[in-house]
Amino acid sequence: MESMMKISDVNHHTIKTNGIQIHVAEKKGQGPFVLLLHGFPETWFSWHHQIHHLASHGYHVVAPDLRGHGDSDSPPSPSSYTMFHIVADLIGLLDHFNQQQVFVVGHDWGATAAWHLSLFRPDRVKGLVVLGVPFFPRDPHIKPLQFFKQLFGDDLYICQFQEAGRAERAFAKYDYLTVIKKFLLINNIGVPIAPAGMEFIDHLETPSHLPPWITEDELQIYADKFQKSGFTGGLNYYRAMDLTWELLAPWQGSKITVPTKLIVGDKDIGYESFSKPYIEGNVIKTLVPDIESVILDGHHFIHQEKPQKVSDEIISFIQKLAVN
C-alpha cells in the first residue's frame, strides 16, 4: 500500500526523442539530476524506492521506460534496439531536461545502456552507478552470441531469446503475473540454462510465496504494463546484441573514464555463474580505471531487495564526487 501511495507522488511525462515517444517518471528536487535506467522485465517502477529516497535528499530524479517497455514506444524490429539507439534516446532525454551532465544509475540492461552512454558520451556523465552487470570489453574476434553458445550451449536464456517469437510463445503459456514472478524472484538456478528440449521460462520456478521485499500489488504493476506492451520490445535487446557488437568496432579498446561504482548481489545468478572472478580481479580496473565495487548480500534485483542499502550507496557515491 505504501508503494501505491508513493506512485501518486511521481510526475509522468511523454518525451519525443530520437524519433520515438519515451515515457518518464520524475520527482523533482532542487539538487543534481539523477537518471535511473531499468532492466528486463521491468519498467520505471523498479526504481520507486530510489526515486523517493533520492528526491527526499533533494535530487532531481528521472526514470524512463526504456524503448520497448511500459508506456514508451516499441519499434518492431530488433535492429532498432542497439545500444546506439538506446543511448541516442537518453541523450535526447537529457537535452529535453536541459541537462548537460548528470549522474546515471543503471540495472541489468539499464546498466549496459549506462556503460555505453558513458563510453560514447563521457561529457554527459558526472558519475556512474551500475547494478549487476560489469563492463565487458568487446572481443574483436567473436560475436557475443557465438561466444555464449560456445561457452554455455544453445539453451542459455540469451540464446533461446534470439529466435523471433519463440520466447513470446513460451511466455504465453503463463499469465503475465506468473512470468514476472518467475523472473523477478529467480533464485538458485545456477547458470541460467534450460535443460535440453525445455524452454527457459518453463525451467524457472514459480515461487509458492513472496519474499518480504516485494508485494503482490507491486508485481501486478509490472504484469499490467507487460500485458499492454508485450515482451517483444524487451527481448529485442538480446536480439540486437550482435548488431551492437558490429557497430562498436570503432570503440575497440576504449575505456570507461567516468567515476564508477559497481554494486552486485552476491547471489546474483550472473555474478555466481560468470562474472565473479572478473569483478574481483584486476582486469576490470584496466578498463574502468576509476571504479569501486560493492558486493551486497542479495540477488539480481538488488535495488528492490535491498532498497535502503542501494539508495545509500548511490547517495554516498554522489556526495563523494561532489566533495572531490
Contact predicate 23/37, CB 8 Å: no
Catalytic residue among 238, 268, 271, 299: 238
Per-residue pLDDT tens over the stretch 74-90? 999 999 999 999 999 99
Catalytic residue among 38, 49, 300, 303: 300
DSSP-H helix ranges across the chain: 2-7, 48-56, 83-96, 109-120, 144-152, 157-160, 166-171, 176-184, 200-203, 216-229, 232-239, 241-247, 269-270, 276-280, 283-287, 302-305, 307-323
The predicted pLDDT at position 188 comes to: 66
Catalytic residue among 65, 108, 155, 268: 108
Instruction: Tell me the pLDDT tens digit for each residue of 281-294.
Output: 888 999 999 999 99
Among the four given CATH numbers 3.40.50.720, 1.10.3720.10, 3.40.50.1820, 3.30.450.30, the one describing domain 1-323: 3.40.50.1820
Region label for 230, one of left (φ > 0), alpha (ψ between -120 and 50) or beta (otherwise): left
The reply to whether 300 belongs to the active site is yes
Interhelix angle 48-56/307-323, rounded to 10 degrees, is 40
**In sequence order, what are the residues at sequence separation of 6 or more whose Cβ sits closer than 8 angstroms to the Cβ of residue 315?**
53, 54, 57
Using the predicted structure, report yes or no on whether residue 270 has a pLDDT greater than 90: no
| Catalytic residue status for 238 | yes
- Alpha carbons 317 and 2: distance in angstroms, whole number: 27
Specify the residue for cell string 523471433: 164
Active site residue 108: yes
For Cα atoms 271, 313, 303, give the angle at the middle one, nearest 5 degrees: 55
Each residue's pLDDT tens digit, 101-143: 999 999 999 999 999 999 999 999 999 999 999 999 999 999 9
- Phi/psi-derived region of residue 257, left when phi > 0, alpha when psi is between -120 and 50, beta in every other case: alpha
Domain ranges in the chain are 1-323
Model confidence at 1, in pLDDT bands (50, 70, 90)?
Answer: very low
